[in-house]
Amino acid sequence: MIVVRARRAVVEGTERPAAVLVEGERIEAVLPFDAVVDAPEVVLAADEVLLPGLVDTHVHVNEPGRTEWEGFATATRAAAAGGVTTIVDMPLNALPPTVDVAALEIKRKAADGQCAVDVGFWGGAVPGNAGELRALHEAGVFGVKCFLLDSGVAEFPPLLGRDLTTALRAVAEFDGLMIVHAEDGDLVREAAGRRYLDFVASRPPAAEDSAIAGLLAAARETGARVHVVHLSSADALPQLAAARAEGVRVTVETCPHYLALTAEEVPDGDTRFKCCPPVREAGNRDALWQGLADGTIDMVVSDHSPCTADLKRLESGDFGQAWGGIASLQVGLPVVWTEARRRGHGLAEVVTWMAERPTALVGLSLKGRIAAGQDADLTVFAPDATFVVGRLHHRNPITPYAGRELYGQVRRTWLRGAPVEEHEPPRGRLLRREDLR
C-alpha cells in the first residue's frame, strides 16, 4: 500500500487537495490531503497536479504489417510519456486489417508483451463482412470502424449506400458501436501541389457535413449507436446537436490538431500538417472549442496516424501525394492544455474530454477517474511548466509540433499502481470489451 499526496488533484470533476491510497493495482480510497495513513508516501511537488491516466481511443499502431510506420512498443512508450495509460488501436493500416476474429488474434499476438500501457482494439466494418461483426464483438473489440470514402489503403474499402445500412443493422442487433470516418467522397477532389490552402479546398467542410447527414439518417433508420471520429468541420455541429436532441445515439470526437492549429499558419510544402479531414481556418477552430464547451463535441483523442518520412513526402512537399496523418500521441495533453488555458478552460474540463468521456465511449468503467475502486492509473502533470517539443518516442517522430513551446509537462505516469519506467519490462495488458466493467 502507498499514498500519493497532491495539493492539487482532479477528482470527480473538481480540482482539490487529495491523498490517494493505492492498494495493489487499484485505488483503495481518496482521502483529505493530510489524512494520517500508515503507508509509504509519494508527495507531489507544489507545481504538480495529479490527474487520472488519459484514455486515447483513436490510435493507429499499424503493427503487424506496417510496423515500420509505428509499433506497439514505440506507440505505448509514447503514450506513457504523454500521460496516456490506455489506448484503443484502430483496425486499419495494420496487415491484415482487423475485419474478422482471425485478424484480431494476429494483432493481439503481435502486441503481447510489448505494451507499456493497457491496449484495447477496434474491429473493422467493410463491404461483405457484416456477418463477422457479432463475432468480433464477442471476441472483445470495443466497436467497429468504417469509412464513408476511400480510406487510403486498398485492403480497407469504404461502406457506401446500403452497405452502411446493412452494417449498422448488424451492429444494432447486439447493441454495439459503429465509429465512422465521415467524409463524402463525391465532394472530395484530388489534390496536388505544395499549396496548403489548395489541399484544404479539396476536402471542404461540405464533405463532412454531407457524410454526417447520411450517417445520422442511417442511425435513425437502424437505431444503431454511432460515433463520429476526428470532427474537423464545425459546420456539422448544429445537425449533430439536433440529432442527439431527437434521440439519435451519436457521440462526437475532435483532435488536438483541430483545436490547436489553423490553416492560416501551415507553411506551403510542410506536409507534417497534412491530415484528413484537414486542419481548417481559425474561425472554424473557435467554433470547435465552442462545441466542446457546450457539450456537442464529447471528447478529444489523438488520431495518432504516423508513417515513414518518405510517405510524408517531406522533400517534395506535395500535399496530394503525402500520407495524411498527424503524429501526436505523446504531446496531445500539453497541446490541448496550452490552448485550453489560453481560452479559460481548467484542467478538470480537459480531464473530462481526454479521460472520462473516452472511457465512457468504450465502457472501461475502471479507467479515466481518480476514485475508490478504479485502476490506479495516474498522471503527474505540471501545468505551468513549459517545454519545447523535442525527443519523441514515436517510431517516426515527424510532427507539426516539433520545436513548438507548450505548457504542461508530464513528469510521471502510473499504470495500475506503479510508475511506468522506460528501462523496465512493459506491463501493459491487452483489454477486451468485457474487461474492467
Residue 108: per-residue pLDDT: 98
Rounded-to-integer distance, Cα 378 and Cα 274, Å: 32
Helices (DSSP H) in 61-124: which residue ranges? 72-81, 101-111
pTM over cut 0.75 = yes
Q: What percent of the chain has pLDDT over 90?
A: 98
d(CA 305, CA 323): 9
Could you read off the pLDDT of 93-111 as tens digits, one per residue? 999 999 999 999 999 999 9
Cell (9 digits) for 406: 507548450
CA angle 154, 199, 316 (to 5 degrees): 80
Tell me the pLDDT band of 112, cut-offs 50, 70 and 90: very high
Query: CA 81, CA 79: separation in Å to the nearest integer?
Result: 5
How many Cβ atoms from other residues are within 10 Å of residue 13's Cβ?
11
**Rounded to the nearest 5°, which phi and psi values hold at 53?**
-60, 140
Element holding 147 (H helix, E strand): strand 144-147
Pairing of strands 49-52, 378-388: antiparallel
Kindly tell me the sign of the dihedral angle through the C-alpha atoms of 355, 171, 254, 239. negative
Q: To the nearest whole number, what is the mean pLDDT of the chain? A: 97
**Torsion 72-76-77-78 (CA) sign:** positive
Number of neighbouring beta carbons within 10 Å of residue 145: 26
d(CA 250, CA 37): 44
What whole-number distance in Å separates Cα of residue 51 and Cα of residue 349? 11
Find out whether 359 and 112 touch, Cβ atoms under 8 Å: no
CB 349 within 8 A of CB 340: yes
Give Cβ neighbours of residue 209 (< 8 Å, ≥ 6 apart): 233, 235, 236, 239
Residue found by looking up cell 510517405 in the block:
311
Could you read off the pLDDT of 331-390 as tens digits, one per residue?
999 999 999 999 999 999 999 999 999 999 999 999 999 999 999 999 999 999 999 999
Tell me the HSE value of 345 on the side-chain side, using a 13 A CA sphere: 20
| Cα separation, 83 vs 413, whole angstroms | 6
Query: What's the N-to-C CA distance of the chain in angstroms?
Result: 23
**For residue 115, is pLDDT > 90?**
yes
93 contacts 60 by C-beta, under 8 angstroms: yes
Of 282, 229, 261, nearest in space to 90 by CA: 229
Residue 434: pLDDT band (50, 70, 90) is: confident
Sheet holding 144-147, edge to edge: 123-124, 144-147, 177-181, 225-228, 250-254, 299-300
What integer pLDDT is reported at residue 433 of this predicted model? 87
b/e 33-52 (16+ beta carbons within 10 angstroms → b): eeeebeeeebebeeebbbbb
The one-letter amino acid code at 428 reads: G
**How does residue 407 score in pLDDT terms, banded at 50, 70 and 90?**
very high
What's the CA gap between 332 and 394, in Å, rounded? 13
Across 404-414, average pLDDT: 98
| 54-73 pLDDT, tens digit each | 999 999 999 999 999 999 99
Closest to 327 measured CA to CA, from 396, 270, 268, 390: 396
* Stretch (H or E) spanning 239: helix 237-246
Helix/strand/coil percentages in the chain, nearest 5: 30, 25, 45
Residue 15 CA to residue 157 CA, distance in Å, equals 45
Average pLDDT value for residue range 183-196: 96
